[in-house]
């Protein structure tokens, strides 16, 4: 599926440096190195250590903003098959993760490594997002680029430098998305790290503070499927649902809304949906009894331990876009995670059909 904007969480993880364990903080303040992406004179004939032919001067042709390549390509110079950086396109050649990349993999218009356009976000596609409203969060007719979702300079805007006055620490350098200049529901994804938190130099907020943010990261493995967990600071709304919904307008909503439908019965259960809600509904049924569960939003860190069933369904657990899809995509249709749940899910899930994913929460249908 072209231009699938399910977030998670977030599109291309705009650059993080070699050896960085923090998620989204490489393009950040003193680590924001201009020469990583720009070259002052339109050329760079040798490496920083002197390798190459210094006498050969070959200008870089017509790249705006003194970039070393086109906007989508300059990101991928680091983030595609470059060891030491998160690899965000096709097969993972950019460093090990224990249980699959948290955001999965982007694809390209021509396809790459077996990943093709119906499997997730497509770099370079000019097609509108599925379920797009008018307007959506990036200019219609333009190519999908990393900077449509991420701020290369950190912070919340496309060109805003994450400086000491920035009040929002955005997850994965994700931009604040809006569907128009007059919008009042701008969506920003916050998370649990703060490099300026001198009272807690490890960068981790305590759990009480973390409940007000959209993402909780474990102390290591932050690009791993199991290293990113989802909070639910607002029971009526999903932060990721709102964020993804800035492009996928008709695919996002809460019960009773025009996109989703549904009526609340006397039993406290909704019925009559004509689209799957992305917020506003609590999990019931079988999710807690599955050994390896898809990510659910939890207001009190009630995720349980993967590999062990939860005896009783926690209260106020909710689903959002990233529960079923990878933000960049998978090698399944629509970036879905085929999650049978009998083994660690990894990038694409341990199942063989989309039905296995549905059965994480819905008991109908035998294998």
Question: What tens digit of pLDDT does each residue of 140-187 get?
Answer: 888 898 988 988 887 665 544 444 445 455 788 888 888 765 556 678
Highest averaged pLDDT of the listed ranges 47-56, 197-206, 219-228, 306-315: 306-315
Provide the pLDDT for residue 301: 81
Question: What tens digit of pLDDT does each residue of 235-264 get?
Answer: 888 889 989 988 998 898 888 888 898 888
Question: What tens digit of pLDDT does each residue of 25-43 get?
Answer: 567 666 778 888 888 877 7
pLDDT of 100 higher than 80 = yes
Q: What is the pTM (predicted TM-score) of this model?
A: 0.83
Higher pLDDT, 93 or 201: 93
| Lowest-confidence region among 44-53, 107-116, 316-325, 351-360 | 44-53
Question: What tens digit of pLDDT does each residue of 114-134 get?
Answer: 999 999 999 999 999 999 887
Average model confidence (pLDDT) for the chain? 78
pLDDT of 360 higher than 80 = yes
Average pLDDT over residues 326-344: 96
Provide the pLDDT for residue 252: 87
- Do 254 and 276 touch, CB atoms closer than 8 A? no
Q: Residue 100, Cβ neighbours under 10 Å: how many?
A: 22
348 pLDDT band (50/70/90 cuts)?
very high
Provide the pLDDT for residue 355: 92
- Do 189 and 171 touch, CB atoms closer than 8 A? yes
């Amino acid at each position: 599926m072209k231009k699938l904007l399910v977030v998670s969480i977030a599109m291309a993880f705009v650059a993080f440096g070699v050896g960085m364990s923090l998620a989204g903080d490489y393009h950040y303040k003193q680590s924001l190195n201009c020469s990583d992406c720009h070259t002052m004179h339109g050329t760079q004939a040798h490496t920083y250590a002197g390798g190459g032919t210094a006498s050969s001067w070959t200008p870089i042709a017509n790249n705006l903003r003194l970039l070393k390549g086109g906007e989508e390509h300059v990101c991928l110079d680091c983030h595609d098959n470059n060891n030491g950086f998160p690899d965000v396109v096709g097969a993972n050649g950019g460093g090990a993760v224990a249980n699959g990349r948290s955001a999965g993999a982007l694809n390209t218009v021509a396809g790459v490594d077996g990943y093709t356009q119906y499997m997730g976000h497509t770099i370079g596609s000019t097609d509108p997002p599925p379920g797009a409203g008018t307007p959506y969060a990036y200019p219609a007719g333009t190519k999908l680029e990393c900077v449509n979702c991420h701020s290369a300079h950190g912070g919340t805007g496309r060109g805003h430098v994450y400086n000491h006055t920035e009040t929002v620490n955005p997850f994965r350098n994700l931009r604040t998305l809006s569907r128009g200049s007059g919008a009042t529901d701008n969506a920003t994804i916050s998370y649990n790290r703060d490099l300026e938190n001198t009272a807690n130099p490890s960068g981790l907020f305590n759990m009480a503070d973390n409940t007000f943010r959209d993402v909780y990261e474990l102390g290591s493995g932050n690009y791993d499927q199991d290293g990113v967990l989802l909070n639910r600071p607002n029971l009526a709304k999903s932060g990721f649902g709102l964020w993804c919904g800035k492009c996928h307008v008709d695919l996002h909503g809460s019960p009773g809304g025009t996109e989703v439908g549904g009526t609340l019965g006397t039993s406290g259960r909704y019925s009559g949906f004509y689209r799957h809600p992305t917020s506003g509904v609590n999990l019931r049924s079988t999710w807690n009894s599955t050994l390896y569960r898809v990510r659910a939003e939890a207001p009190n860190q009630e995720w349980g331990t993967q590999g062990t069933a939860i005896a009783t369904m926690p209260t106020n657990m909710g689903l959002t876009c990233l529960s079923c899809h990878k933000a960049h995509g998978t090698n399944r249709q629509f970036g879905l995670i085929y999650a049978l749940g009998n083994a660690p899910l990894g990038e694409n899930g341990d199942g063989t059909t989309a039905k296995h994913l549905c059965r994480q929460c819905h008991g109908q249908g035998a294998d």
